[in-house]
Structure 1
Amino acid sequence: MKTVPEQPGKWSKELEQRLRLALQDLRFGTVTLVVQDGKVIQLDKNEKIRI
């Protein structure tokens, strides 16, 4: 996934949109934000599919 540069303490519209997309259809799993120097640098989505 592409890194998303941020200003410390401020969310960009792109980050908010990507986070909403990651969460909108997630039923089982995790969404993780990786922060470095006060900036979100990575968003990981790990989805489990129950059969």
Structure 2
Amino acid sequence: MAKPVELNEVWIDRIIQSINGLEYGTVQIIIHDGRVAQIERTERKRFDNETKRSAAGAEAKLHIERKASDGRG
């Protein structure tokens, strides 16, 4: 039979800290022998389409500027 998980205030605070400020992502709580052994946080950044287009435009502009400064433009 599985052991009940032991959580004290320290681990509860660590879990809350891992969750706070997380907009997109996951928090995994790893348990060994009924005790929290590790907390893993994976954060993702999402950008809307307008931001993607702006970034692509800036990258294309930089590429054009580099070619012009190399004398290939």
Q: Percent identity?
A: 27
Specify every segment of 5 or more residues in structure 1 that has no aligned partner in the other structure, as ranges: 1-7
TM-score between the two structures when normalised by the length of structure 2: 0.55
* The structure with more helix, counted as a fraction of residues: 2
Which protein has the larger Cα radius of gyration, Structure 1 or Structure 2? 2
Specify every segment of 5 or more residues in structure 2 that has no aligned partner in the other structure, as ranges: 48-73
RMSD (Å) for aligned C-alpha atoms? 1.2
**How much does 1:9 deviate?**
2.7
Paired position in structure 1 for 2:19: 23
Q: Which runs of 4+ in 1 moved over 3 A?
A: none
Across the two proteins, how many residue pairs are aligned to each other?
Answer: 44
**Relative contact order, CA 8 A, sep 6+: which one is greater?**
1
Paired position in structure 2 for 1:41: 37
TM-score between the two structures when normalised by the length of structure 1: 0.75
